[in-house]
Amino acid sequence: MLNARYVKRGLFTFKNSLVRSKKSSIFRIIFRPNNVFNLYHTLSGKDLAKDIRKEAFQEILNIKKSHPNFSPTLKIIQVGSRPDSSTYVRAKLKASEDSGVNCIVEKLSEDISEFELLNKIDKINNDDSIHGLLIQLPLPKHLDETKVTNAVSYTKDVDGFHRYNVGELSKRGGKPFFIPCTPNGCMKLIEKAGIELCGKNAVVLGRSDIVGTPVAALLKDRNATVTVCHSRTTNLSEILAKADIVVAACGKANFVKGEWLKDGVVVIDVGINYIPDVTKKSGRKLVGDVDYNTCKEKASFITPVPGGVGPMTVAMLVTNVVLAAKKQLLKNETPLNITPLPLKIETPVPSDIEISRKQTPKHISTVAEELGIHKQELELFGHYKAKLSLDILDRLKDRENGKYILVAGITPTPLGEGKSTTTMGLVQALSAHLHKPAIANVRQPSMGPTFGVKGGAAGGGYSQVIPMDEFNMHLTGDIHAISAANNLLAAAIDTRIFHEATQKNDATFYKRLVPAKKGIRRFTKSMLRRLEKIGVNKTNPDDLTPEEINKFARLNINPDTITIKRVVDVNDRMLRQITIGEAPTEKGLIRKTGFDISVASELMAILALSKNLKDLRERVGRIVIGANYNNEPVTCEDVCCAGAITALLKDAIKPNLMQSLEGTPVMVHAGPFANISIGASSVIADRIALKLVGKQASESVAEDRDETGFVVTEAGFDFTMGGERFFNIKCRSSGLQPNAVVLVSTVRALKLHGGAPDVKPGQSLPYEYTQENVELVRKGVANLVKQISNARQFGVPVVVAINKFETDTEEEIEVIKKAAIRAGAFDAVTSNHWAEGGKGAVKLAEAVVKATKQESDFKLLYNVDSSVEDKLRAIVTKMYGGAKIEISPQAQQKIDMYKSQGFGNLPICIAKTQYSLSHDPKLKNVPTGFTFPIRDIRASIGAGYLYALAAEIQTIPGLSTYAGYMNVEVGEDGEIEGLF
């Protein structure tokens, strides 16, 4: 036994109380001649690595308690089948399993091209389910190791080889994402020994990027004085003789000799070398870069080979994977940080296009990055717009939704009351001024209104989508895709009627309908679905009987029942009714039909209501194009056109990403007309946006919903139209429930309802609108009260936004506020976002945030299983204030037909004027006691609703004498002029 005094050897002092075995190290006493003894300490990496793996396992279990889906995952790519690589991979796989880390090993062919390997790495980089990616080295000679290892994202580079991690490690005060495993393992062994590195003289023998250079940086970071040498360094033994710490990583067996070292040195041997050994079964022995037998006599601490640094390398790899998963989890739970663009407000407010041009937008990739959208989920269309992949929904499926806000309005004037502008201003206020993540979801403008009277839908003033000319024109071509798909269906219908009429022989017609290709006949997928529909359980075209052939091939479409019209995205009134088939080649198959505007088509409604591409395909197939002569519905699937239509819409189904004037994100998708169709942007855009601004679902944060962001979407025209359809049709389809409704009101509109003269586009406002008239406002405010009542029927809080104009007075606004609160609004706030941008809507945004924290009692207006007549009656009496409905004989006949076809239990919307709560645009304010006429009923079975036509509503608008297109020009620089 050693006595209780201190025994000094070199720089390090030990107590006899430390002479004992530990899990991580063992003290050895070696007696020399003349009773001189040496005390050295073996640093066991094997035992320490085991402890580290246990700690990792327990840490994963602890995190899973609050985040059940937490699963650190390592992907190892092994190119080729080198035995040594396979051995290392097995060790890493075993260590991962022991630590609770999911490890996926993918073995690739040795002759894989560099291009293929880099593509595979890129996909893994963008896969959030993979936290660490390791490329097992060495690689075959035809692959550039530096290029390949640097292709791994530095955020998944758990080896620590990426130039970013290496560079940050080398910088003073640098912050690498990961520390390389072997150097980190060396440092952990030194730390375990309790060695104080500050001021010590450390020599690193080896200058590789994998060990030598990074371990030198780590030692320097701990304030050691570091010398980096290599096997050819002059006077190496003299340099080593002064070292307090030696890290040997030169790759030469038994290179460092004990006589080179001073007493008490700490030796970390990183070498892995094989030398011949006849006593071993394999004929070779594993040794390090240090001559262990001679060096241990000088060392105070020394690592063995094997069992020293090697096990630590694998343990630190596991630790890095867990660290990567924790960083990913933290990133998922960190609120989005959307950097606003500064506004330079001018007075008077310039035109919309001038304001848009004076702002320099962010690159759209920056907007996407701020939203946490991955590179592979973004398809760029120029610098300022892009499409988003639906894969985002799958990636974020476990995230809680953000808050959902609907912007609707009172019954408007022909000039509009600024719902789009309010939507933009509200989101700019939420995101740029209150620093809450927020996305505006709006419809794509139709070029009908853009070139007509109403104008575009970008918002206005200092609250708009930019670039507004790109937004209001073609955008990414979605409406064109809708037009092409719709017109393909129309052509397919007329073509089918033609061929059935001109080919009387069933066998000949069937042979042409299902032709042989390379001697083989096959049914298409649509054909197989039709066979299933008619009860024929056969898949070989040659097996059908003559009766089955007739039943399958002859659709027998009654031309008088066809509901599909061709469409165009222009207000072309002369196409409302046309005659087709006049050419002699059409064999006298003449019929009357017409055009709709593209955004009134059923396909546009389907685009808005579909949840994904599969849902869209099913809905397209269900479109009822008309009936046969037995009054049975004929579908798009029967015409065998659903697949082609879906192909035309496969890109249109992806929402478009743009930004507001203050750089806040805007998603633009679908554009169904509000007076004819559902008047709301897409379900897909809403679902993606709600996930993007939501938060990770976990027990630790589930109770605190204040951290979620906001999605603000808009319903067209007044609440009785866009708002009612939003709830009864869109919410039924999406399953989403708004947290609040913002009801946009203006003094101007309430004066109109109070008895002021009509407002006409292109003409000066009558003086009643520019001068204070409290009495007109007091009379007209009944319309606002009614719309508040309408919105409250759905059980969500209502905030009234008073969109302020410069001629409005405080007395007029006060009348509105008091009436709104009495009517049950949660709050009523004046907003000046048109002139001030988001700053002018801060109070509105604060009111909305508070409203979303209120209890809600979400409910719908009617039961879909009620009769069609009862559903119509519920809308007219509860929303419009009418006394009863009057259904024309033609409409009743349609209702009876839809019931017999099994479509009576669908929700319904009513196409009517937007300028009155009633069917008559002349009836302002809150008319009551009126009879509401239903002149026709149509079916959008694919979209999933029926729609009634009231009075003389048109499905394609016309152009005015002085239309918007007259102002539009293109300058020599290619910039569009004259838009608003």
Active site residues: 92, 136, 159
Give CA–CA dist 207/211, Å, rounded: 7
Residues with Cβ within 8 Å of 349's Cβ and at least 6 positions away in sequence, in order, are 355, 461, 462, 834, 835
3-state secondary structure of 771: coil
Give CA–CA dist 617/492, Å, rounded: 17
What DSSP string runs through 795-832? TS-EEEEEE--TT--HHHHHHHHHHHHHTT-SEEEEE-
Residue 362: both structure tokens together: 């962010």
884-887 vs 931-940, strand pairing mode: parallel
Pick from 66, 12, 4, 67: nearest CA to 40? 12
Sign of the Cα torsion 178, 183, 188, 190 reads negative
3-state secondary structure of 112: coil
- Report the run of H or E that residue 321 belongs to, with start and end: helix 309-333
The separation between CA 570 and the C-alpha centre of its own chain, rounded to angstroms, equals: 32
Give CA–CA dist 792/790, Å, rounded: 6
For residue 680, what is the DSSP state?
B
- Report the run of H or E that residue 313 belongs to, with start and end: helix 309-333
Give CA–CA dist 154/163, Å, rounded: 8
Distances 716 to 118, 324, 735 between C-alpha atoms, Å: 47, 45, 20
Residue with tokens 């203050």: 662
Q: Interhelix angle for 478-502 vs 602-609, to 10°? A: 130
Report the b/e string of 362-393 with b at 16+ CB within 10 A.
bebeebbebbbbbeebbeebeebbbbbbbebb
3-state secondary structure of 589: coil
Report cis status (omega within 30 of 0) of the bond before 467: yes
3-state secondary structure of 458: coil
Torsion angle of the four alpha carbons 188, 194, 200, 202, in this order, in degrees rounded to the nearest 10: -30
3-state secondary structure of 372: coil
Give CA–CA dist 560/893, Å, rounded: 14
| Spatial contact of 452 and 960, defined as CB atoms under 8 Å apart | yes
The separation between CA 470 and the C-alpha centre of its own chain, rounded to angstroms, equals: 22
Residue 517, burial from CB neighbour count under 10 angstroms (0-12, 13-18, 19+): exposed
3-state secondary structure of 678: coil
Give CA–CA dist 198/200, Å, rounded: 6
Residue 790: both structure tokens together: 């309408």
What's the CA angle centered on 262, arms 258 and 263, to 5 degrees? 95
Distances 935 to 372, 534, 573, 894, 977 between C-alpha atoms, Å: 49, 34, 20, 10, 42
Residues with Cβ within 8 Å of 803's Cβ and at least 6 positions away in sequence, in order, are 417, 418, 421, 422, 744, 745, 746, 831, 833, 834
| Spatial contact of 684 and 696, defined as CB atoms under 8 Å apart | no
